[in-house]
Amino acid sequence: MYSYNDFDSQGYLKAPVLFWAILLFQARTWVLLVIAGASREQGEAILKGFYPDSDYFWLGLLPGIPAAIAFLLSGRRHLWPRLWRKLRGVLILTQLLLLVWQCSGLADDPLSGITILLLVIDILALWWLVMNRKLRDYFALHHE
């Protein structure tokens, strides 16, 4: 089913590359916060450009928490197997909530190219998190 290269040195299935991209996407507000923090003088302007209302910024940090947990636990997932198995469902729920949040924002904001792009990426990320077999097996802790 999987090739030898799909497993790490401990015999556990490696994460699909797209998984890391989706984690970054879910934690996009955290990434923006790091970028703003790194560009000291312009940090506030960067945050205001993406989040004119600071309440949306603070709410935007919430979906990144499960993504950060998944990132931190991924290397030691075998130590917390029950938590790890449940984390996939949490990531799917988080992606669904991001999609709902994007859709609810359509009523308030004018439709733009960025909004449409984020909406399409949210839909594709949700579909991939639910449907990808290798990701499902990755969270099931398949061992060679």
Nearest CA-CA partner of 21 in 103, 113, 108, 95: 95
- DSSP class of residue 63 equals T
Q: What percent of the chain shows pLDDT beyond 70?
A: 98
Average pLDDT over residues 1-24: 91
Residue 61 has pLDDT above 80, yes or no: yes
Q: What span, in angstroms and rounded, lies between the C-alpha atoms of 142 and 78? A: 10
Residue 35 has pLDDT above 80, yes or no: yes
C-alpha 95: how far from chain center: 7
Q: What span, in angstroms and rounded, lies between the C-alpha atoms of 142 and 144? A: 7
What amino acid occupies position 22? I
Residue 106 has pLDDT above 60, yes or no: yes
Domain ranges for the chain? 11-27+63-139
Per-residue confidence band for 22, with pLDDT thresholds at 50, 70 and 90 = very high
Average pLDDT taken over every residue of the chain: 89
Average pLDDT over residues 118-139: 95
Residue 142 has pLDDT above 70, yes or no: no
* Global pTM value: 0.86
First to last CA, the chain: 11
Nearest CA-CA partner of 22 in 99, 114, 137: 99
Report how far apart, in Å, the C-alpha atoms of 130 and of each of 7, 67, 95, 125, 137 are.
Answer: 21, 15, 10, 9, 12
Residue 9 has pLDDT above 70, yes or no: yes
Average pLDDT over residues 3-28: 92
Min mean pLDDT across 24-28, 29-33, 61-65, 100-104 is at: 100-104
Residue 47 has pLDDT above 70, yes or no: yes
Q: What is the pLDDT of residue 50?
A: 79
Specify the residue for token string 């398949």.
Answer: 142
Q: What span, in angstroms and rounded, lies between the C-alpha atoms of 135 and 2? A: 12
Q: What share of the chain is helix, strand, coil (3-state, %, to 5)?
A: 80, 5, 20
